[in-house]
Amino acid sequence: MRRRVERIGALVVLAAMVCSLTACGSKPAESSPGTTGAKGSAAETAGGTAGEAPKKMRYVAPGSDWEKEDEIIGLVNDKLQKDGVNIEVELIRIPWDAWDQKVNLMLSTGEEFELLHVMQDRKSATVLRSQNAIAPLNDYLDNFPDLKETLSERWPEFTVNGEILAVPVKPNYYISRDYGRIFYRQDIFDKAGGKVPETVDEVIELGQKMQEILMEETGEKCYTWLHTLSRPATWLHRSYEEAPFIVDNTMGIAKCNMDGTVESFYESDIFKRDCEIYSRLYDLGLIDPDILTTDSEDRSNAADYGKFVFGFETIDYQSESTMTKNVGAYLGDFWLNPELGNVEYFGIYNGNAVPVSCTDPNVPLSFLDWLYKDAENYQLFMYGVEGETYKKVTDNTMETIFGADGKPLYKYDDWQMGNADFRLYDATATDTLMKMYTTPITGTNVRTPMVGFNFDPVNVSNEVANLTNEIITSIYPIKFGVVDYDSNIDQAIQRLKAAGLDKVLEEYSKQYKEHYEANKDLVGVFEK
Per-residue pLDDT of the chain (528 residues; tens, 9 = 90+): 555 444 344 334 334 443 433 333 333 333 333 344 444 556 566 666 567 999 999 999 999 999 999 999 999 999 999 999 999 999 999 999 899 999 999 999 999 999 999 997 778 887 788 889 999 999 999 999 999 998 887 887 788 778 899 999 988 877 777 789 999 999 999 999 999 999 999 999 999 999 999 999 999 999 998 878 888 999 999 999 999 999 998 899 999 999 999 999 999 999 999 999 999 999 999 999 999 998 877 888 888 889 999 998 666 666 777 788 778 888 899 999 999 999 988 777 799 999 999 999 999 999 999 999 999 999 999 999 999 999 999 999 999 999 999 899 999 999 999 998 899 998 888 788 788 888 888 899 999 999 878 787 878 989 998 999 999 999 999 999 999 999 999 999 999 999 999 999 999 999 999 989 988 988 999 987
**What's 105's DSSP letter?**
H
Same fold, 2-173+349-383 and 176-345+441-528: yes
Helices (H), 374-460: 375-383, 414-417, 431-438
Name the region of 414 (left: φ>0; alpha: ψ -120 to 50; beta: rest). alpha
Give the list of residues 6+ apart from residue 465 with CB closer than 8 angstroms, or none: none
DSSP 46-69: HH--TTPPPEEEEEEEES---TTH
CATH topology for the 2-173+349-383 domain: D-Maltodextrin-Binding Protein; domain 2 (3.40.190)
The residues spanned by each domain of the chain are 2-173+349-383, 176-345+441-528
Half-sphere exposure of 234 (CA within 13 A, CB side): 32
Cis omega (within 30 of 0) on the bond before 457?
no
Measured over the CA atoms of residue 155, residue 134, residue 456 and residue 419, the dihedral's sign is: positive
Buried b / exposed e along 203-230 (16+ C-beta atoms within 10 A): bbbbbeebbbbbeebeeeebbbbbbebb
Give the helix, strand, coil percentages of the chain, each rounded to 5: 45, 15, 40
Please give the sequence-ordered ranges of beta strands (E in DSSP) within 176-296, or none if there are none. Answer: 182-185, 223-225, 246-247, 254-256, 262-264
Domain 176-345+441-528: CATH superfamily, name plus number: Periplasmic binding protein-like II (3.40.190.10)
